[in-house]
A and B are shown apart, each in its own frame.
Chain A
């Protein structure tokens, strides 16, 4: 990750990947670009953490993959959400919102 980009909070990368894939199946590069775009360049995702996360999520049964021909006419590995992955995304999002709300409350009180 480069200096200007923010460090991801532990465990949030998985959630971001799941969110990205909720719209449509994507390949590794696509996912990394999508995260960067959606965060307006705040998060830059390092392939060194991206690919292990794919493997982890795949093993946990949250992602499935398939080889398809991509835009440059080459074979690429496309990831998509499984049913369990969608459920996980929902519960993670809810949990995340709860925590953010709580932290925001604390920060507002303190100031």
Chain B
């Protein structure tokens, strides 16, 4: 009630200000009269009584001021008038205001954009009911597993999920899911969308409500089901069906099977994976029908599922983990893959399950980008500090110009606090406008960031809302920067003793150090910080250039990869080999196609295959066998990639099923595993889990190439002829080297594939583009750190230029005297440059120390460089030193051109 009375009375006071003031006047006058009347009664004369009464009151204006400050609306009013005054001052200095607002908007915008991403990727919880109850169930250490890993979240096999589902007790609801891609094109060129296999409990566990229709439930997910219902996401509904409300019941083709749309999820639900947006969810039980012979459902060594559950009331993660650990031995005993060798078995039986907090879902994006984003946020924060330092410097310059005004106002009775408040109002105004513009900018910047990381194969989706965290972050930045660049100058400007300032003449003959040294310290720290940012930028740029120029062992450009899926033909094993061969021949016949070859795994595509190598023919099995990477390729593979053949021969059309088993190996395989320089003629066998195949005779040796990742050391690689595969795939991945432009080549390949058989599923991508996309993170780091580094150097140099110019202006008299005493131009230039030299040297020295300490944070993001790389450090130091000295040469030159008479007269 008290607050309300005060509020309403205050508002009344604000709106009826004139009346309130008049009443106060009248009340005080009345008091004075009564006081004087009383005094006259005790014998004073009229004049004397009035004078005494006024004296006793101690100044009517002071009393009024005290009364006003007893009500809150006065503070609001004085803030308002301060802001108006600030606006007026800024309008008189549009260049200053513009520069200040622009640099703050950029700085705050960059910080907010990065924070917005971090918020979405790291801090926010899943858009489901009570996300803190959601946990992920997985093996507590994922190393030592063998088998097929086909999903981004390969935590479990299907048999394991069945067992866990039956035996776990800690979760009231528990589901399995797996991300996948569905081809929604009925035939022809593939159109993939983001799909999910989900067990029947998925939507119920997450506690979601459909926007339309119904969700899949346990009745939809019965083993052996035929393709039936599918749930689509809100965005897919909008995109593919135009938001048509009659979508329920419509047919949807997924990988050539017809499904029926049964429901649409709410607009804010993107799935349980942060960084992706699912399009279609299909029951787990439909997997065998869609995947056909590639189905993992029955496989005990097919890792493709992830699972999550909702904890029962009263259960904690720890308690659930303890229960899962207790049932682990029995579960792993029951689901042991039959094709494991003793080594695999030993590892498998030692696995223990655990529950892991999953309130913010799962995310590959988070794994890859959380650290870079924190690092970028730190870089952006440094840029903002440098920008605010410039502002602080400018405000200091303005403060010293207003010293007299402040002294005067303090002399006539303004309190220091009141003046500081007024000066801060100006900074607050700048910071607030900067923050608002920055927030608008951030919204676009963060979207740009996400778009730059998104690719056709890896379409990212990040829910970039502005929640309380983002809002608080931006507001906090604004207040911090405002205090940082506003408070010190305000304190400085009002710390003067009015007497001294008013007495002091306009300018001393030489510059004293006291007042000026704060500005020097600011410039030195700017240089130190910008060196750190420059070092960071150079480290990331050099790291990227090392990655792009790394020796891959093949020529990346000019290769188109096409994936031709002919599973719809349902060919038997021998027919597949022939059909694949025919496709390849047709493509090779396209004019201007130089060479083409089929491969099961494309280098650097992320698909990898590793098996044990048993050198020789009859060597006894050891526990630990050397491991090699594998490629299954057709003849012409090396020629297409232009990988040099160092000895022996390539595969040819006579290496087929039934002929002697042959292999080509790379240098590392020869040197590390076979321990020979020329392995041609050597024999070895291959062990896949418990199955041993071979012996293979080595017929060729090729140069080392990269296999899975550009960053890796050369791996041993074994190449086996694809025509000797006993069970060929139902698709051909063909690498085509041609001088034709990509669109022409693509349509020519489509034509020749269609001439082999109409309606095959085709997809295309550029080999070089794919490799480039593997470097997105490095490119982003290089680009953004380069941008921040450049901005930092620019801002620091502007700061230095400002301080040196200011120094020259303050020392005009001294320079004039020196010149009239015979100092030459060079001496004057040297005088100014010496000043700047010291500032720059101290700044760079501090900066080197800072860089050495800070760059350690980037260690894991660098390739081929140590974070304390000497060459980078020297390069950065030299670049910054040259730019800084060049910037101070301009005011130095101006000083040397001063007319001594003019400089002396201008007192």
Binding site for B on A (CB under 8 A): 27-29, 32-33, 46-49, 51-56, 58-61, 70, 72, 74-77, 84
Structural contact, A51 and B27, CB atoms closer than 8 A: yes
Residues in A with CB closer than 8 Å to B31 are 27-29, 32, 47
Interchain residue pairs with CB less than 8 A apart (17)? A29-B30, A47-B28, A47-B31, A47-B57, A47-B58, A48-B57, A48-B58, A51-B66, A52-B67, A53-B70, A58-B9, A61-B1, A61-B2, A61-B6, A74-B33, A76-B27, A77-B23
Q: Within 8 Å of chain A (Cβ to Cβ): is B146?
A: no
Tell me the nearest residue of chain A to B23, going by C-beta: A77
Q: Which secondary structure dominates chain A's binding surface?
A: helix
Tell me the nearest residue of chain B to A62, going by C-beta: B2
Size of the chain B interface, CB-CB below 8 angstroms = 29
Residues in B with CB closer than 8 Å to A70 are 30
Given A51-B24, A61-B1, A77-B26: 17 more A-B contacts, CB < 8 Å: A28-B27, A28-B31, A29-B31, A32-B31, A47-B28, A47-B56, A47-B58, A48-B58, A49-B66, A51-B66, A56-B70, A56-B71, A59-B70, A59-B71, A72-B34, A84-B1, A84-B2
Structural contact, A29 and B5, CB atoms closer than 8 A: no
Residues in A with CB closer than 8 Å to B38 are 33
Tell me the nearest residue of chain B to A82, going by C-beta: B5
Q: How many A-B pairs with Cβ below 8 Å?
A: 77
CA distance A33 to B38 in the complex (A): 10
Q: Within 8 Å of chain A (Cβ to Cβ): is B728?
A: no
CA distance A61 to B67 in the complex (A): 16
The 3 closest A-B CB pairs, nearest first, are A61-B5, A29-B34, A52-B70
Tell me the nearest residue of chain A to B5, going by C-beta: A61
Structural contact, B63 and A47, CB atoms closer than 8 A: yes
Known contacts A47-B57, A48-B57, A51-B67; A77 and B27 CB within 8 A of each other: yes
Partner of B67, one of A46, A55, A74, A75: A55
Q: Within 8 Å of chain A (Cβ to Cβ): is B35?
A: yes
CA distance A41 to B192 in the complex (A): 95
Q: Within 8 Å of chain A (Cβ to Cβ): is B882?
A: no
Binding site for A on B (CB under 8 A): 1-2, 5-6, 9-10, 23-24, 26-28, 30-31, 33-35, 37-38, 56-58, 62-63, 66-67, 69-72
CA distance A40 to B317 in the complex (A): 75
Tell me the nearest residue of chain A to B30, going by C-beta: A76
CA distance A9 to B23 in the complex (A): 30
Q: Which secondary structure dominates chain B's binding surface?
A: helix
Structural contact, A52 and B30, CB atoms closer than 8 A: no
Structural contact, B30 and A74, CB atoms closer than 8 A: yes
Partner of A48, one of B23, B27, B34, B62: B62
Q: Output the residue of B26, B34, B57 with the most chain A CB within 10 A.
A: B34
CA distance A84 to B2 in the complex (A): 9
CA distance A47 to B2 in the complex (A): 25
Give chain B nearest CB distance to A106 CB in angstroms.
Answer: 33
Structural contact, A60 and B6, CB atoms closer than 8 A: yes
Residues in B with CB closer than 8 Å to A49 are 66
CA distance A109 to B821 in the complex (A): 83
Residues in B with CB closer than 8 Å to A33 are 38
Residues in A with CB closer than 8 Å to B5 are 59-61
Known contacts A60-B6, A61-B1, A77-B23; A55 and B71 CB within 8 A of each other: yes
Residues in B with CB closer than 8 Å to A56 are 70-71
CA distance A32 to B66 in the complex (A): 17
Tell me the nearest residue of chain B to A59, going by C-beta: B6
Residues in B with CB closer than 8 Å to A76 are 27, 30
CA distance A82 to B535 in the complex (A): 70
Partner of B30, one of A32, A46, A54, A77: A77
Residues in B with CB closer than 8 Å to A52 are 63, 66-67, 69-70
Structural contact, B37 and A59, CB atoms closer than 8 A: no
CA distance A47 to B52 in the complex (A): 13
Residues in A with CB closer than 8 Å to B63 are 47-48, 51-52
Residues in B with CB closer than 8 Å to A75 are 26, 30
Residues in B with CB closer than 8 Å to A27 are 27, 30-31, 34
CA distance A74 to B10 in the complex (A): 27
CA distance A55 to B21 in the complex (A): 12
Residues in A with CB closer than 8 Å to B10 are 59
Known contacts A60-B5, A60-B6, A61-B1; A46 and B33 CB within 8 A of each other: no
Residues in A with CB closer than 8 Å to B2 are 60-61, 84
Residues in B with CB closer than 8 Å to A58 are 9
Structural contact, A55 and B70, CB atoms closer than 8 A: yes
